[in-house]
Amino acid sequence: MTFVDLDVPTPLVQALAADGKLLAFPIQQQTLPDTLNGRDVLGRGKTGSGKTLAFSIPVVASLGEDDAASSRRAGRPTALVLAPTRELATQINAVLEPLAAAYGLRTTTIFGGVSPKHQINALKAGVDIVVACPGRLEDLLQQGALTLDDVRITVLDEADHMADLGFLPGVTRILAKTPADGQRLFFSATLDNGVDKLVKRFLKDELLHSVDEAT
């Protein structure tokens, strides 16, 4: 099944094709009809199954449709992707950036271990999509460098890994600051360790898609 068959918007199909990606992986085939339709989704799939594109496509498509770029405001992103580590946030941003560029949307990463100066400046200049680790994001929220009031779509990647690292309290506080009527996409290999509680609290009528088993 191609990305065209899945009704991925043409600018994104073109950006994917430029990267040699024409056919959707199973997790993408299963989730895209629902995520592109605005539904909350819980996706389960092992490492390497293609979860990053599965959420990056609907994140960009949902903003692109409304031409967020023309209404960009300082410190008020419209999409948020939470990732457990700096390495993962950087990888996700590398996947998101060319797709976001197709709509003139801006992305930035927020993580600890480096000076916050560049991150704060990027937020001030205005970004649409923030890819963040919970600790530094909470610091910057506390400082007023950004607000999540305008976030329309939120992704939680590697929720189980977040739990293992003890990040769920922070993730919970962050999700509670995103608008309750926004779209939310969670990806996790398992539903243990409190991930189930997070699902119950923050996903609405979610659809579960799992590619753990051979199909």
**Site for ligand ADP, rule CB under 6 A:** 21, 23-25, 28, 45, 47-53
CB under 8 Å to 153, separation ≥6 — which residues? 58, 59, 62, 63, 78, 79, 80, 182, 183, 184, 185
From the list Mg ion, ligand ADP, none, pick the one residue 48 interacts with, judged by a Cβ distance below 5 to 8 Å according to partner type. Answer: ligand ADP
**Site for Mg ion, rule CB under 5 A:** 51
What b-and-e string marks burial along 59-95, b requiring 16 or more CB atoms within 10 Å of the CB? bbbbbbeeebbeebeebbbbbbbbbbebebbebbbeb
Which residues face 68 on adjacent strands? none
Residue 47 vs 215, nearer CB to ligand ADP: 47
**Shortest-Cβ-distance residue relative to ligand ADP:** 52
Residue 53 vs 198, nearer CB to ligand ADP: 53
Cα 215 from Cα 212, distance rounded (Å): 9
From the list ligand ADP, Mg ion, none, pick the one residue 176 interacts with, judged by a Cβ distance below 5 to 8 Å according to partner type. Answer: none
From the list Mg ion, ligand ADP, none, pick the one residue 144 interacts with, judged by a Cβ distance below 5 to 8 Å according to partner type. Answer: none
Residue 66 vs 212, nearer CB to ligand ADP: 212
